[in-house]
Amino acid sequence: MPSHPTEITNNIAKPLILCDAEVRDLLPQLDVQGLMKSLFLALSDNTAVQPPQTLALLPNNAGDFITYLGAMAKEAVFGAKLSPYLITEQQPIITAWTSLMSMQTGQPLLWCDSSQLTVERTAGTTALAIDYLAPENSSHLALIGAGNIGLAHLRHVLKLRNWKTISLYAPELADNPARRDEIMTIDPRIQIATDASHCTKEADVIMLCTSSAQPVISLADIKPSAFITSISTNAANAHEVPPKLLNQADVYCDYQQTTPDSAGEMCLAANQHGWDKSQIRGDLASLVAQTCPLPDYDKPVFFRSIGLGLEDVAMAYGIWKLASQQLQ
């Protein structure tokens, strides 16, 4: 059970502290897509603040940590996710914890492990984009990537459209029949593709959920009207699509003020192919507010998400409310 919030020290209530297992217990009750929609609507009407993320290098080349910040006026909370990368003699240590504080009292409300929250908010953000941007008659779904984040994406989008087929490709599945069988039990429509081209060639919607720093699809292997989503990874200039795609596609992103300067394919497209971020047709804030044009679907559609501190704050707020209700 979470630490009880009513213990008082110097008239200050101690915050809830939730470990990964406690967060996972609460997650099935959380309306992730609803939380994401609310926060982007708040961004559109200026009742939320999304500062740029910051990278701090640790002394003596010991690693770094990224800080993701955000504040939401309606919920009266602000917070930060801290994600360190700690160099060791073995594998680096990577964790993520989110703090949530009250805008009314200035006191801490929550300190929680963010590992699975990050996975779910990433998938929920992509699902929100698909719900707004994918044609209603989309019937063929493709997923490249079979890790925790990829399968979370699959869970979040299964009911968004009437999918007739779901094609999935991940190179590591070739030598892991047990994992293939496990994935296919998720939904009877899932088919494991032998390579990326077979996975994407008939797809109306393609979700890229890999840690690759290089393109994982070819433009020759997608339909002219395909809708492609990408999350990519934190490697320098990482990109899951060829940067030249951006000049041939209707481009959208999670947040227009920050994504173009961080997303690898956008930076490369600008430097190498003359693409300009002014060509972005909209972001999630303008999509939920219905203030940007929808695609014409006469060309590919590309949606890029880099992850926002506000997403972490919104998820922490949702978990805090659930945990607080349990303790009442």
Coil, strand or helix: which one is 163?
Answer: coil
pLDDT at 12: 62
Among 191, 200, 195, 208, which Cα is nearest to 224's?
Answer: 200
At 101-140, the pLDDT tens digits run: 999 999 999 999 999 999 999 999 999 999 999 999 999 9
* Distance from C-alpha of 110 to C-alpha of 317, rounded to nearest angstrom: 8
pLDDT digits (tens, 9 = 90+) for 11-50: 567 899 999 999 999 999 999 999 999 999 999 999 999 9
Q: What is the mean pLDDT of the chain?
A: 93
**3-class DSSP state of 208:** strand
- How distant, in Å, are the alpha carbons of 115, 153, 239, 296 from that of 126? 17, 7, 16, 20
Integer Cα distance of 288 and 163 in angstroms: 23
pTM score, whole prediction: 0.91
Q: Average of pLDDT values for 290-316? A: 95
Total residues belonging to the chain: 328
Task: Kindly report, residue by residue over 49-67, the tens digit of the pLDDT.
Answer: 999 888 899 999 999 998 9
Greatest CA separation for the chain: 65
Mean pLDDT of 138-153: 96
